[in-house]
């Protein structure tokens, strides 16, 4: 019994954090509706029939509904041309009552990610992927922060409060997670190391880190020899292993050695969706020249 309780106190409950946060966002969305006579509105575009993407989009739509946010789901066939997708985005850019636009990734191979990301109006860029928003994040300016790194940041702040001076290791250098995460951690006065699949002696580096953000995309890659005692581990990985969902971290090892760890599922995933709702409401206020008192970022 004792062991179980001890383990439970080590688990960072992303589901609980997201629930609290969404309650707050829902209130903000309701206030927006009182002011503007309409709900904040998020448009989600899904191209093709990738099963994982379909599940993510469904979760986003359901969460929006529960959060006083209107959503528009646009389903396009996997053969949709790049030109037709860009035209759809332009239409949504010019739609007065659409506050946020999200194009679910990954895209089919015949569509260039860069063109899609650049075509979304920075004012409606709920993912924070547009070069203008991304650049502002790198500069430490006010911006829209990509949802997954923002969710990781949120949980770290709740768990540790002041991150000053900690050695944070980000494993993964993607534009969606690794690079924006680096900026957020630098702003928190962390000493930041970025590692990736080509890094040599990763276990050695990792063993020195106070905070690990694991976003490598390899199931249960981070095992005991990577983990320093008393560290805090945020597992961004979502890997399907024989129908079971596992992260990039070997959870049992992390539970034994680390101070705190996020589970998969129930860690970063729910926080990512909550942050998408946050970004939608924030952009809705901004676009409509309403005061948005920053409750987060």
Residues annotated as part of the active site = 60, 104, 127
Alpha-carbon distance of 197 to 220, in angstroms, equals 14
Q: Is 148 near ligand GUN (CB under 6 A)?
A: yes
- Number of shown-chain residues binding ligand GUN (CB under 6 A): 8
Q: Supply the minimum distance, in Å, between the C-beta of residue 262 and ligand GUN.
A: 16
The token pair at 49 is 């029939």
Nearer to ligand GUN, 22 or 47 (CB): 47
Q: Which is nearer to ligand GUN, 127 or 188 (CB)?
A: 127
Candidate ranges 19-27, 100-108, 150-158, 199-207; the one touching ligand GUN (CB under 6 A): 100-108
Q: Which range in 102-110, 153-161, 200-208, 221-229 contacts ligand GUN by CB under 6 A?
A: 102-110
Task: For residue 179, count other CB atoms closer than 10 A to its CB.
Answer: 18
Instruction: Give Cβ neighbours of residue 250 (< 8 Å, ≥ 6 apart).
Output: 220, 221, 222, 223, 224
Report in angstroms how near the CB of residue 74 gets to ligand GUN at its nearest. Answer: 13
**Stretch touching ligand GUN by CB under 6 A, among 22-30, 98-106, 180-188, 225-233:** 98-106
User: Checking DSSP bridges between strand 41-47 and strand 100-103, what pairing results, if any?
Assistant: parallel
Nearest distance from residue 99's CB to ligand GUN, in Å?
16
Q: CA–CA separation, 53 vs 35, rounded Å?
A: 34
Which C-beta is closer to ligand GUN: that of 104 or that of 136? 104
> Do the Cβ atoms of 74 and 84 come closer than 8 Å?
no
The 8-class DSSP code of residue 47 comes to E
Supply the minimum distance, in Å, between the C-beta of residue 280 and ligand GUN. Answer: 13
Does 104 contact ligand GUN by CB under 6 A?
yes
- Scan residues 161-190 and list those touching ligand GUN (CB under 6 A): 176
Which range binds ligand GUN by CB under 6 A, 101-109, 116-124, 152-160, 194-202?
A: 101-109
Tell which residue, 186, 170, 168, 188, has the closest CA to residue 178. 170
**DSSP classification of residue 193:** E
Q: Which of 147, 150, 155, 232 binds ligand GUN (CB under 6 A)?
A: 147
Closest CB to ligand GUN belongs to which residue? 105
- Beta carbon of residue 248, minimum distance to ligand GUN (angstroms, whole number): 14
Question: Where are the alpha helices (H) located in the chain, listed in sequence order?
Answer: 2-8, 14-36, 51-66, 82-93, 113-119, 131-138, 147-160, 178-187, 202-206, 251-257, 268-287
Q: Which residues contact 154 (CB under 8 A, 6 or more apart)?
A: 17, 21, 271, 275, 296
| SS3 assignment, position 218 | coil
- Cα angle 250, 215, 243 (rounded to 5 degrees) comes to 55
Question: How far apart are the C-alpha atoms of 120 and 101, rounded to whole Å?
Answer: 7
* Of 60 and 260, CB closest to ligand GUN: 60
Instruction: Establish if 264 lies at the interface with ligand GUN (CB under 6 A).
Output: no
Q: Which residues bind ligand GUN (CB under 6 A)?
A: 102-105, 127, 147-148, 176
């Amino acid at each position: 019994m004792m062991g179980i309780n001890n383990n439970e106190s080590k688990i960072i409950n992303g589901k609980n954090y997201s629930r609290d946060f969404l309650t707050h966002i829902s209130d903000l969305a309701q206030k927006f509706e009182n002011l503007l006579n309409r709900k904040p509105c998020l448009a989600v575009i899904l191209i093709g029939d990738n099963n994982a993407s379909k599940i993510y989009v469904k979760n986003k739509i359901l969460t929006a509904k529960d959060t006083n946010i209107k959503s528009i789901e646009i389903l396009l066939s996997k053969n949709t041309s790049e030109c037709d997708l860009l035209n759809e985005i332009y239409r949504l850019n010019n739609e007065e009552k659409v506050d946020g636009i999200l194009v679910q990734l990954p895209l089919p191979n015949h569509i260039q990610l860069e063109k899609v990301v650049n075509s979304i109006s920075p004012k409606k860029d709920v993912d924070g992927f547009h070069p203008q928003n991304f650049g502002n994040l790198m500069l430490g300016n006010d911006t829209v922060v990509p949802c997954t790194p923002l969710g990781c940041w949120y949980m770290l702040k709740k768990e540790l409060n002041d991150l000053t001076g900690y050695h944070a290791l980000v494993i993964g250098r993607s534009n969606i997670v690794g690079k924006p995460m680096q900026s957020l951690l630098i702003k928190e006065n962390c000493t930041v190391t970025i590692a990736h699949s080509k890094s040599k002696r990763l276990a050695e580096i990792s063993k020195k880190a106070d905070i690990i953000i694991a976003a490598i995309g390899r199931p249960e890659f981070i095992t005991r020899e990577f983990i320093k005692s008393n560290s805090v581990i945020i597992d961004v990985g979502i890997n399907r292993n024989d129908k079971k969902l596992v992260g990039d971290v070997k959870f049992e090892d992390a539970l034994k050695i680390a101070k705190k760890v996020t589970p998969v599922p129930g860690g970063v995933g729910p926080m990512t969706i909550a942050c998408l709702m946050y970004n939608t409401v924030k952009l809705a206020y901004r676009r409509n020249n309403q005061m948005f008192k920053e409750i987060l970022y």
